[in-house]
Amino acid sequence: LVEEARAAGVTRFLTIATQHKEFADTLEFSQQQQGVFCTYGIHPHHAGEEGLSDLELSKEIEQAAAEPEVIGLGETGLDYHYNHAPKVAQQHSFELHLKMAQQVGLPVVVHTREAEEDTMRLIDRALKRGPLTLVLHCFTGSSTLADFAVERGIFFGLGGVLTFKKSDALRAIAARIPENLILLETDSPYLAPIPCRGKPNRPAWLTHIATCLANVRDMSTGEIARITTENFERAFPKGGE
C-alpha cells in the first residue's frame, strides 16, 4: 500500500494510534518505512478502557514522544455519536492528551463527532494555558466549528467525505478556509473517496481528494500537493525533512 501510494505521488504518511495495545506495532511499522510517521494516543472510543491511570498514560506519552517517528499525539477527542466510552471518560482523556501535548511540545490529532460544543470548550481551556498545534481530522463540522478553527489557526484534515455527492456544505467550507490550514488525509481504511466509494480506502487514493479540492478551490492539483505538503511540515515539524 505504501509503495502504491508513493508511486501516486504521496510522500509523507501519518499512521494513527488509537489504542495503547496497538502502539508497538504502529511504531515498528513507522520505523521500517521511509516517510511514514505515527502518533500515540487513545481514541475516544477507547477512552479509559485499558485501565491506564493518568500517571501511567502521561508516562506512556512522554516515552512515545521521545521516539523520532512519533510526531504527534492522538487520535483523541470526543465522539458523542457512538458513545463507545462514557462522555466523562472521553472528556477526561481528551484533556489529558491536550495537557501532555503542551508538555511534550507535539501537535494533537483531534476526532470530534456530534460533540462540537464540548470540543471547542476543551480546546479553548487548553489554549488559555499556552500554545498548542491542533488538527481537526476528517473535518466534517459546521461553519461555526470551521470559524472557530480558522480564528485559532487550527488545521483542517480533509478526506474522502469532500468528494461525496451530498457534501456541498463541506465543499463550501473547504473553498473558503485559508490555504495554510489545509491538510489531506484518507482515514484509511474508512471513507474511500469517489470514484472508489464503498471499498476499503487506500493511501494512494489521496490523489482523488487532492483533485476534488483543486476543483473546489480553483487551483491545480500540483498546487494543492505543494501546499498540503508544506502545511504537513508546519503542522508536524518532526515529520519535515
Q: How far apart are CA 121 and CA 152, in angstroms?
A: 13
**Which CB atom, from 101 or from 225, has the smaller least distance to Zn ion?**
101
* Per CB under 5 A, 97 contacts Zn ion: no
**Which CB atom, from 46 or from 111, has the smaller least distance to Zn ion?**
111
Give the residue closest to Zn ion by C-beta: 111
Q: Are 228 and 9 in contact (CB under 8 A)?
A: no
Residue range at the interface with Zn ion (CB under 5 A); choices 107-115, 121-129, 168-176, 194-202: 107-115
**Least distance to Zn ion from the beta carbon of 101, Å?**
17
**Least distance to Zn ion from the beta carbon of 16, Å?**
8
**Which CB atom, from 123 or from 225, has the smaller least distance to Zn ion?**
123
Q: Are 197 and 148 in contact (CB under 8 A)?
A: no
Q: What angle do CA 127, 133, 139 make, to 5 degrees?
A: 100
**Least distance to Zn ion from the beta carbon of 56, Å?**
23
* Per CB under 5 A, 46 contacts Zn ion: no
Q: CA of 234: how far to CAs of 110, 182, 240, in Å?
A: 17, 11, 8
* Per CB under 5 A, 111 contacts Zn ion: yes
Q: Are 174 and 158 in contact (CB under 8 A)?
A: yes
Q: Are 99 and 55 in contact (CB under 8 A)?
A: no
Cell numbers describing residue 107: 501537535
Residue range at the interface with Zn ion (CB under 5 A); choices 52-60, 104-112, 117-125, 150-158: 104-112
Q: How far apart are CA 22 and CA 40, in angstroms?
A: 10
**Which CB atom, from 69 or from 185, has the smaller least distance to Zn ion?**
185
Residue range at the interface with Zn ion (CB under 5 A); choices 49-57, 87-95, 111-119, 163-171: 111-119
Contact footprint for Zn ion (CB under 5 A): 111
